[in-house]
Amino acid sequence: MDVQRLELLRELAARGSVTAVALATHRTPSAVSQQLKVLEREAGLPLTQRHGRGLELTDAGRALARSATDVAVSLAKATALWDEFRNNATGEVSLVTFPTAGQMLLPGVIKNLGPGLVLNCADEDPELSDFPAFTAEYDIVLAHAMSGQLSWAGRGLSVVPLMTEPLDVGLPVGHPLADRAWLRPSDLIGETWIGVTDGYPFERILHAIEQEAGAHLSMAQRFADLALIESFVIAGLGIALVPRYTSGGGQPGRLVLKPLRGIESERQIVALMRPDRAERLAVRTVIEALRAQASQVQRSHSAK
């Protein structure tokens, strides 16, 4: 079977439509369909079937798509081995990050990359379930989720843990709770909250606070952007959950952070990749740089 045709089948499994595969591979939909038909003849079994106005994979098609991933991984390993012999971690690596991880990690990573290795970055802040979709477009996807909420198992992705970041309660200077060493969920009932948009990872901790305290939190506003949330807290318009390592950016000393006890309040930051891309020497080099920078961030905050 032709490797390029196998890759088209794999892309169909990942992207869900011939049109999406055509856009991603710079082909016309008819060209993609023709190549899939040739692969089907080579396989001797139906690989796709009509579903509404589109195509979906048959059981045989899904099995062959998984095999196509194995082929891609093997080819990537062979290329990476050759690059290691040549000591050649060069080329371009694409990465998409959510904003606070980019702020925390990327400047240090890019400063320390060797010559010939270019990291092209973009930023997005999707809901938790949307992070894996970006692996179709980017070599590395920086994602975050609450502890125990990682839902990417079984998606066929490589998942590299980078760091655990505590989430603290952010208070304006002079708030009555600002003198406490730490806070419990019961301390937070009756406060005005600046929350996150429905579906965003921090929402799970807000629900846990309500469950532990046995009362609802009063949400004045909900935003997706953490910098905007912090600006409302600094202005005295409410309190919020904020990540410890990246809070107060641009306005140091105007936000008071207090650890939260009684519930688990932290997020896991990971790198998601397609398994074949994870084998590339250039990608592995960037991942090691990300891990080193994450360790440095954690050490710097532990020393304070």
Closest C-alpha to 5, from 29, 45, 30, 34? 34
Give how far Cα 257 sits from Cα of 173, 182, 234, 254, Å: 10, 9, 11, 10
75: its two tokens: 């080819």
Residue from 168, 149, 144, 127 nearest 265 by CA? 168
Note the residue count of the chain.
304
pLDDT band at 270 (very low <50, low <70, confident <90, very high): very high
Assigned token pair, 191 = 């406060």
The structure tokens listed for 158 are 């490589």
State the pLDDT at residue 250.
Answer: 46
Nearest in space to 132 (alpha carbons), one of 15, 287, 19, 25: 15
What pLDDT shows up at residue 286? 95
Tens digits of residue pLDDT in 177-211: 999 999 999 999 999 999 998 877 788 899 999 99
Contact (Cβ atoms closer than 8 angstroms) between residue 182 and residue 228? no
Report yes or no on whether pTM surpasses 0.85.
Answer: no
Of residues 118, 141, 117, the one with CA closest to residue 129: 141
For residue 24, the tally of other CB atoms under 10 A from its CB is 15
210: Cβ contacts below 8 Å, ≥ 6 apart = 185, 216, 217
Spell out the domains of the chain, with CATH numbers in brackets: 3-82 (1.10.10.10), 90-303 (3.40.190.290)
Using CA atoms, how far residue 258 sits from 74, 178, 243, 262, in Å, is: 48, 7, 11, 13
Cα–chain-centroid distance for residue 106? Answer: 14
Q: Which amino acid belongs to residue 177?
A: L
Is 133 strand, coil or helix?
A: helix
Nearest 5 degrees, angle CA 285-CA 290-CA 293? 125
CB atoms near residue 153 (< 10 Å)? 8
**CA gyration radius, the chain:** 23
Separation between Cα atoms, residue 100 and residue 249, nearest integer Å:
10
Cβ neighbour number for residue 220 with a 10 Å cutoff? 13
* 148-175: pLDDT as tens digits: 666 666 678 889 999 999 999 999 999 9
pLDDT tens, position by position, 94-131: 999 998 999 999 999 999 898 888 999 999 877 666 88
Helix axes 99-112, 281-302, angle to 10 degrees: 110
At residue 114's C-alpha, the angle toward residues 75 and 106, to 5°, is 90
Task: State the average pLDDT over residues 290-298.
Answer: 95
